[in-house]
Amino acid sequence: MSVLGRFSFRQGDEGDGAMQAIPAGALLWLIGAFALLLAPQWDRLPLWLVAACAVLAVWRWLAQQGRFRLPGRWLKTGVMLVLVAVYVTTVQGRFTVDTAASFFVLAVGLKWLETRTARDFYVLFFILVYLAAVNFLFQQSIIWALITFSAIGCLLVGLQILNAPALPGHVRAGWKRLGLLLLKTLPIVILLFVFFPRMAPLWSVPLVSGQARSGISDTMRPGDISNLAQSSERAFRVTFGGENPDYRDRYWRGLILDYLDGETWRQRDNEPFRRLGRVATDGGAGSLAENEYDVLMEPTDQRWAFTLENSVAASNNVFSAGEDLFRFERPADSPIRYRMALAEASSASMLELNPVQRNRYLQLPRSGNPRARALAEAMSADLNPAQLVDALMRRFREQAYYYTLRPPAMPEDGIDALLFDEKRGFCAHYAGASTFLFRAAGIPARVVVGYQGGDPGAGGEYLIVRQYDAHAWVEVWLEGRGWVRVDPTAAIAPSRIESGLRDAVEEEGSFLENDFTSLQRYQDFAALQWVGLQLDRINYQWQRWVVGYQGQSQLDLMSRLPGGMGLKELGYLTAGIVGLALLIAGVVSGLSLKSRERRDGFGRALDSWRRICQQAGVPVRGGETPMVQAERLAQARPAVAESARTFARAVNSHYYRQQPLSQRDDDLQRLKRLLKAIQRQLRQDGQRRSTGPDK
Amino acid sequence: MFSQKNLFILPTGAGVVFGILLLIMLITGINYQNSLIYLMTFVLGTVFIGAMHQTHRNLSGLTLSVARTGEGTAGDDIPFYLRLTAGKDQAVAIQVSVEDSVLEQLHIPAGATKDVVLPVPSAHRGYVRPDRIRIETRFPFGLLKAWSWLRPSSAALAYPRPLVAPEAGSQVDDGAEATAAKPVIGQDNADLRPFREGDLSQRVMWKRFARSGQMVVADWQGEQGSPHWLDFNAFPGADAELRLSYLAWLVADRVQQGARFGLNLPGEIIEPDSGLVHGERCLRALAAWGEQPPRDQDSLSYGTRKSLDAGFTGASQ
């Protein structure tokens, strides 16, 4: 007794006491969560910012330990001004989601120096929760999602410690409590996730980052694609409704480069301006038809979609841009799923090139590469276009042309140098040179850029196309046949087209030579490959079914469920789920409480005692002890005086005597017996009274 | 026992901000069509609902009663000895408060009992009974608070604040005389009356008891105004509270000296005696003089009394 239960916060040896109001454990979890939340953004945050955040958080921690002081007002303002100045100079007025996100991170970092009270702790908690949401804008793979969610867990454990710092074993208990809570609420989360209506965006918000993404671009210089070949990042994944096409037919067309500007191939017309549409990251729903395929593309910040030849759009988030190319409504700033269908070869042969088009596909710079031009003239003199194409391919095949990731530099008249001197190049070199030659020979031609290939993922359910599958090839216009694909790489290095880059450059040993972290580099380690592919499969399913669960998928799912629910019905359903959750929580706590009351036999015995008193004509007054009540009952009904007093004494001794638990049951039995006796006596007494006067 | 009937639960300020944050996150999720932000919003939303249940459960099933009330001097904090008994679930981070006096971070394991002392500020002499004792918890996340009220039925006593009595010097001298006057006791001017509970054994006429078997006590009359009587009427001109303060000082003074004294209050007379127990009895009489013990106005008043055992405890004082 009389041990004051008051908990006083540990006062630091120095510094203000208010600062110590945050328990060290809680702060540590908060800092841990911050570190976890920064991790998914490692590649988009400037290094100085990450370093600054680390320093600020460590500063705060040392202050907690009493080894360092938190800065005063002036120093704090100074630190803030310096960091903001660095930020402004690095950002240089560009406003993108990236810079906004890094400003947000900077603000969080600075907040550490200000976190002194529990109130500040909550402010940081809220900011970090929102930071977690921001993370999901950039990283949606399952690993990063798990990391972000575990950061949320750390935050919630930190809150528990903040609210009960003195509780022994709070960390373990905290995680356990949180885990149970999440487990119990999981069904409701799932229901909400499935049924919450996926509305259209309220306003259009571009998420274009200022950072260059790896991937093909809309210009091609001879060395460009070989850079890309050093990256094993995923470009997109494809699931076919039917059989996978042969490797050599996996030409994923992205865009057409039809204008040679010096050495650089580019698009003559820039992409036509289109007002940014709304985000539509999911395309198509339901199972794939035999001729359909489903592409889940990583963000490219570009509008082009990659499709096989002779495809038509099967989902409404891609549209045809002519020339058998497809575009999105807006740049792909997050993973996009779209669906295409393979169609019969279009009747392009019926079409004629009009003079404008003809001129466009015959365009060449006025001068340069004289030997190539001379060769083209010589060939065109005695060959028709189709024969000329064959002749050039034969030349590539029969002469000592090499396909290499390490081409020599060819600064002057690069096409001449490639064709006649060095004879070493990558796909971009040969595609550019071939197109040049065809045009010089009067055959309309163009460079097509995209990907070629794709390796099966785990279980062979889908194909993974990586950046090193990037490819460039040629299309020529042949009268009567339309555009015909011609791939010089296929003539020089058939293995590139048959089985991919790895085999094509095997002898050279240059495959992913600079990318030591890539799993694809270590083809020989089967176990490593297997793990990588399994991870990719999990991620793919995650992206398709969880990340990609958007309006269309939802409506598709709903259309399969009975009831034919639309958005409005879903809204009602969601409200119903939330209401139901609240109701269940209430009922559960009510039931558990009821059962607890029921178990407390003493309380029940007292209730029946009061009832008996009432029935006997002795009204129960609040705050009255059983002793007093018994006395009044004894006065009113002398017949039960003795039992009533005994009962009251027994109750008193139960409540005011420390007794072992085992005795409680005996006590209770005794009370019950006494109550029965009182009732019996009252009954007998009542009978006596009612019969008494008659006698 | 706290249950739905008397438990209140509301979001704290942080809880309200959290709700707004969830809304902002939902809008972010809608605008960027980001399923994972939806998912996180739903997870945190249900955590909030779950926390409601947990915070509620943290308090429900807990029994709070006033085990005993203490005593103290007016103006000081009077201790209230509270007993908290947890139900099936443990009760974590409980806060018990009266006005500005707060006990924080009380943890009671499931089924266990914890006794705490809550200092209750007293403004003036007399019975001290806080209108209500607040019991609150914000565990686990501090986003919600559940609270309830206990309306204690037992009151503590605040003694009058002692003030040095004006004739202190002479009284002390009289006290010395009083010891000299002691032999007077036992003279014949005593009234004899039957023994009552509470009478001192020294006063029992043991010879008579040996003779007749009757317990008879000698009662001396006419001693009012004599030095070992502390008299309410001895301070002409002072108002009642002041007199009580003087008397409180005198009582403390006498007890310290180990003197023998009686207390004469209008309507209440405490026979001369000595010792700490006697002193406390006198102080209690001073504290309660002219005051009515607080009674419940109506047994159905809101709060938690009805379902509490505190009522019995209070009456046993």
Q: Would you call A589 and B114 a contact, using CB atoms and an 8 Å cutoff?
A: no
B159 beta partners: B73
The string of pLDDT tens digits covering residues A295-350 is 999 888 888 899 998 888 888 888 888 888 898 887 887 788 888 998 877 655 55
Give the list of residues 6+ apart from residue A269 with CB closer than 8 angstroms, or none: none
Q: Indicate which residues of A carry an active-site annotation.
A: 427, 471, 487
Q: Would you call A603 and B88 a contact, using CB atoms and an 8 Å cutoff?
A: no
Handedness of CA A211, A212, A213, A218 (dihedral sign): positive
- Interface check B242 vs A, CB under 8 A: no
Count the Cβ atoms, other than its own, within 10 Å of residue A499. 15
B205 within some domain: yes
- Strand blocks (E) in A258-393: 259-261, 264-266, 292-297, 304-305, 311-313, 318-320, 326-328, 336-342
Give the C-alpha distances (Å, rounded to integers) separating A148 from A124, A179, A346, A654, A671: 16, 16, 48, 54, 58
pLDDT of residue A431: 92
Q: Would you call B116 and A621 a contact, using CB atoms and an 8 Å cutoff?
A: no
Nearest-5° Cα angle at A630, A626 to A631 = 120
ipTM above 0.85, yes or no: no
Side chain identity, residue A136: F
- Interface check B27 vs A, CB under 8 A: yes
Nearest-5° Cα angle at A240, A309 to A505 = 70
B223 within some domain: yes
Nearest to A126 by CA among B29, B51, B34, B24: B24
Do B193 and B308 belong together in one domain? no
Count CA atoms within 13 Å of residue A508 on its CB side.
19
Q: Would you call A656 and B316 a contact, using CB atoms and an 8 Å cutoff?
A: yes
Confidence class of residue A277 from pLDDT cuts 50, 70 and 90? Answer: low
Do B173 and B282 belong together in one domain? yes
- Interface check B54 vs A, CB under 8 A: yes
B237 within some domain: yes
Residue A481 and residue A346: Cα distance in Å, rounded? 11
Highest mean pLDDT among A365-369, A553-557, B13-17: B13-17
Question: Is the pLDDT assigned to residue B214 strictly greater than 80?
Answer: no
Do B49 and B134 belong together in one domain? yes
Count CA atoms within 13 Å of residue B62 on its CB side.
32
Supply A434's token pair.
């071939």
Which residues of chain B make contact with A209, given a CB cutoff of 8 A?
A: none
**Cα Rg of chain A, angstroms:** 39
Comparing CB atoms, the residue among B32, B116, B299 nearest residue A207 is: B32
The string of pLDDT tens digits covering residues B275-308 is 888 888 898 898 888 887 776 543 333 344 333 3
Higher pLDDT, B86 or A559: B86
Residue B42 and residue B36: Cα distance in Å, rounded? 10
A192-196, A262-266, A564-568: which has the minimum mean pLDDT? A564-568
Alpha-carbon gap: B153 to the closest alpha carbon of chain A (Å): 7
Supply A658's token pair.
């420390």
Do B14 and B129 belong together in one domain? yes
Do B246 and B126 belong together in one domain? no
Q: Would you call A624 and B311 a contact, using CB atoms and an 8 Å cutoff?
A: yes
Q: Would you call A156 and B305 a contact, using CB atoms and an 8 Å cutoff?
A: no
- Interface check B297 vs A, CB under 8 A: no
Domain with B249 in it: 168-288
pTM reported for the whole predicted model: 0.70
Question: Is the pLDDT assigned to residue A18 strictly greater than 60?
Answer: no
The string of pLDDT tens digits covering residues A441-464 is 999 999 999 999 888 888 888 999
pLDDT of residue A350: 57
Do B250 and B150 belong together in one domain? no
Question: Is the pLDDT assigned to residue A278 strictly greater than 70?
Answer: no
Q: Would you call A593 and B60 a contact, using CB atoms and an 8 Å cutoff?
A: yes
Residue A472 and residue A488: Cα distance in Å, rounded? 9
Do B284 and B317 belong together in one domain? no
Nearest-5° Cα angle at A335, A329 to A338 = 55
Instruction: State which H helix or E strand residue B113 sits in.
Output: strand B113-121
pLDDT of residue B62: 85
B162 within some domain: no
The overall average pLDDT reported for chain A is 81
Give the C-alpha distances (Å, rounded to integers) separating A286 from A194, A295, A556, A570: 16, 14, 7, 19
Which residues of chain B make contact with A148, given a CB cutoff of 8 A?
A: 36, 40
Query: What is the rounded average pLDDT of the residues B259-275?
Result: 86
Do B38 and B130 belong together in one domain? yes
Nearest to B49 by CA among B18, B85, B24, B87: B18
pLDDT of residue B14: 92
Q: Would you call A149 and B138 a contact, using CB atoms and an 8 Å cutoff?
A: no
Query: What is the rounded average pLDDT of the residues A61-90?
Result: 86
Alpha-carbon gap: A159 to the closest alpha carbon of chain B (Å): 5
Instruction: State which H helix or E strand residue A103 sits in.
Output: helix A97-111
- The residue extents of the domains of chain A are 17-163, 600-691
- Strand blocks (E) in A349-481: 402-403, 424-425, 445-452, 455-456, 463-466, 470-478
Do B309 and B273 belong together in one domain? no
B161 within some domain: no
Which residues of chain B make contact with A164, given a CB cutoff of 8 A?
A: 92-93, 105, 107, 139-140
The string of pLDDT tens digits covering residues A125-148 is 999 999 999 889 888 888 999 999
Do B317 and B232 belong together in one domain? no
Whether A398 contacts A392, CB under 8 Å = no
How many contacts (CB atoms, under 8 Å) link A and B?
Answer: 218
Do B64 and B96 belong together in one domain? yes
Residues 82-141 of B with CB under 8 A from A: 87-88, 92-93, 102-107, 114-117, 138-141
B31 within some domain: yes
Which residues of chain A make contact with B9, given a CB cutoff of 8 A?
A: none
Do B22 and B131 belong together in one domain? yes
Which residues of chain B make contact with A549, given a CB cutoff of 8 A?
A: 35
DSSP assigned state of A482: E
B306 → chain A, closest CA residue: A622
B79 beta partners: B119
Q: Would you call A281 and B33 a contact, using CB atoms and an 8 Å cutoff?
A: yes
Highest mean pLDDT among A330-334, A465-469, B182-186, B254-258: A465-469
Nearest to B153 by CA among B316, B314, B317, B291: B314
Q: A551 burial class (0-12, 13-18, 19+ CB within 10 angstroms)?
A: middle
B24 within some domain: yes
- Interface check B3 vs A, CB under 8 A: yes
B179 within some domain: yes
Which residues of chain B make contact with A588, given a CB cutoff of 8 A?
A: 53
The number of domains in chain B is 2
Residue A393 and residue A487: Cα distance in Å, rounded? 8
The string of pLDDT tens digits covering residues A199-234 is 777 776 666 555 566 778 888 888 777 777 888 888
Question: Is the pLDDT assigned to residue A19 strictly greater than 50?
Answer: no
Query: What is the rounded average pLDDT of the residues B57-76?
Result: 85
pLDDT of residue B112: 87
Which residues of chain B make contact with A598, given a CB cutoff of 8 A?
A: none
